[in-house]
Structures are given as C-alpha cells and as structure tokens.
Structure 1
Amino acid sequence: MSASEIEYPFDPEPCRGNNPLQKRKTNSSEKVHSRSDKRMQSVTSGKLIISYNKRYFTPEEWRRVRAYYADHCKHPSFATKICPSFEESKFAMDIPKTFAHKFLHNEPCPSTFNLQTDTGKAWPVRSCASVGNYGKTNMKLMGAGWRKFALGNNLKAGDICIFELIKKQEFKVHIIRVPYAKEKLENIPVIIEVESD
C-alpha cells in the first residue's frame, strides 16, 4: 500500500437513523417555517390579520393601513409600498408569496388581472408566475398594463396600495397617498385577510 492509499474503517451501523439528508418526521402540531417566514411578523386585531416586515413601514403607516382596511375592505387583501423601480424601469410589482399560494394558486399562468380603482376605471394587467423557494408561488404584476396603471394613477415612491381580491381575477386597488417621498425602498408586501368564522 502506498502513502496515498489509506484505508479507513467503515461501519454503516452507527449511521443508520442519523441520516441528516433524511426528512425529519414532524407531528401535526409542529409548523415548519421558512427563512422568510421567520422574518415575517403577525399582528392580529379582531378579524384582521396583517403579516409584515416592519422595517419598511412606519408605525403611522401601519395605523393608516389598518384603519383604511377596516373601513373599506371586506375581502382578502395585501398591501405594498410603491418603490422607485415600480414607477421607473422595471414596471413590475411582486404579489406576496403567501397571498399567491393561498388565493391565486389555481390561476393559469400567464393570466390577466383587472385592477380597478375607486373611480371605476379598470386596467388589464398581465401576471407571471414561477415556483420559488419552499414550493411557494412567485407572482408579479408586470408589463405595459402595470405601467399604464402606475402612470394613470400617478403612483409615486412611498405611496401604499391595498390590493383587495374582489373576484377570481379582479383586484380593487385602494391607494393611500404619502405626502412625502421616501428614499429608495424595496417592495415589502403586507398580507391582510379576513379570518373565516
């Protein structure tokens, strides 16, 4: 045997039952959280559930979103703050993975959603989807339809939009104007849904 040929003893018995690649069995009461779920927090107020990443919204903005939702919305909704890329180059907006997985998972891709405002005017907007991390669906509103919607409603960085799912492929969009423009922020969505009784 040469110096480069070293035989190490191998006993397969100690490895049985300790395979780190084997899926761990969990009981039904355990809930597996993804990395992104750990960064999310939840606030419950009556029948209103808001999941959010609090770094991008001020406490005043949270109060405004919750108050507006309580007064105007009856259906599952999500809210997002408009960031500069929505209104400048990309013209795409992410739909929260949790919202897409729960409410839009049966939608064909690509599909078209109608975005309607309080004025009654509607914009057809194309959506695109892909399966992302942890099997959740990544969905975006994008293209010329989103661009026309953003420009037609004069959306600015810092404005907050609440997207209320009215019908299968129809959102009513509530726009909360922010009197000052924020520095460049990324899109961090908020999921708001009504608990079923």
Structure 2
Amino acid sequence: MSDILENESKSQSNCSQKLQQEQSLSTQESNNAGPPVSICSTPLTGNPYFTSVVVKSQVEAPYQLVVPAWFRKSLPKATIQAYLVHKGKTWEMKYYGESRLKRLGCGWKKFALENNLKVGDGCVFELMDDDKELRLGVQILNGQIPVEFIRLGSAEKPIIID
C-alpha cells in the first residue's frame, strides 16, 4: 500500500508541473481554446481494467455501476466486499457477482457523490493485484476535452473518439 501512495504522490507532483506548463501554454493561445485541463493520471500497471463513461443510473437512483461482461471473467462469481481506491482514499461497497446484473452498489453512491461524478465524466477501473479482496484503482477524467485534442479538431475535421 505504501508503494501505491508513494507512486500517487510522485504522480501528483508531476501532474502539478504539467498543469503549470499547460496553463502557461494556454495564455499564449487564443481565448477560444478554453480553460486549461489537466490530463494527468497514474499509469496503469498492466492489470485488467475497464473504462466507463458516467451515465444517469450511476449518479442518480439506483446509484450503481454495471461491470462490462468481458471484464467479469476477472472477478469472483459471488457477492463480496469491494474497494475502490482513488487519490489515496478507499471506498467500501458491494460487488454483486452472483446476481444477473453484475454491478457495484451499496457504497457506489457515496463514491459518486464524494467524487462529484457527473454524466459524461470518464472513469478507468483497474483491478489491483490483491488475492484477498476485490480492489479497483480508479482514475477520473471530468467531461472536459483536453486542450491537446481541441487543437486537433475543427468543424471540417471533427475529433473521433473510439
């Protein structure tokens, strides 16, 4: 766990430096580029992961996150405690692995509210290497488009996100 926190601390330091550089670049650009947006994140470790664009059912009742079918084979087929880790904080919730709809619930609402998730935000959930419990590292990207991508697109040449 201390390795994770140490890596998170280093990553946050690098993020601060990158954000300062982005802010400096943005003052040199046209006002049409919008506010600087940090695109920093902790590198993935090579473990299985899935991404999710936040939808209404995740930030309003029933407050749950459905796990993609292809990712479920990496998870237990039982209802167990699960833990989401984001920015050094851990949220406890239930993973319903034996129900028809495999999902995170009972605790997901607290995670969504405390992290101010909104429809359109993106999340990356990476399975953390721990045989004793289900732990997922989470990275959150708010719904803003990073400046680097804004520069690439135009009305004649739109940005296509796969």
Check whether TM > 0.5: yes
Corresponding position of 1:91: 63
Change (3 A) 1:122 1:108: same
* More helix as a share of residues: 2
Corresponding position of 1:176: 141
* More strand as a share of residues: 1
Change (3 A) 1:147 1:131: closer
Percent of matched pairs sharing the same residue:
29
| 2-structure distance, mates of 1:125, 1:84 | 19
Q: CA RMSD in A?
A: 2.2
TM-score by length of 2: 0.57
Query: Which structure: larger Rg?
Result: 1
- Once the 2 structures are TM-superposed, how far is the Cα of residue 173 of structure 1 from its aligned partner? 0.3
User: How many corresponding residue pairs?
Assistant: 103
**Equivalent residue runs for 1:120-139 within 5 Å:** 120-130=88-98, 138-139=101-102
Q: Which amino acid aligns with 1:90?
A: P
- Once the 2 structures are TM-superposed, how far is the Cα of residue 179 of structure 1 from its aligned partner? 2.4
**Equivalent residue runs for 1:1-197 within 5 Å:** 72-74=43-45, 75-101=47-73, 103-104=74-75, 107=76, 109-118=78-87, 120-130=88-98, 138-143=101-106, 145-166=107-128, 167-168=130-131, 169-179=134-144
Secondary structure of the corresponding residue to residue 158 of structure 1: coil
Change (3 A) 1:94 1:161: same
Structure 2: where are the runs of 5+ without partners? Answer: 1-38, 146-162
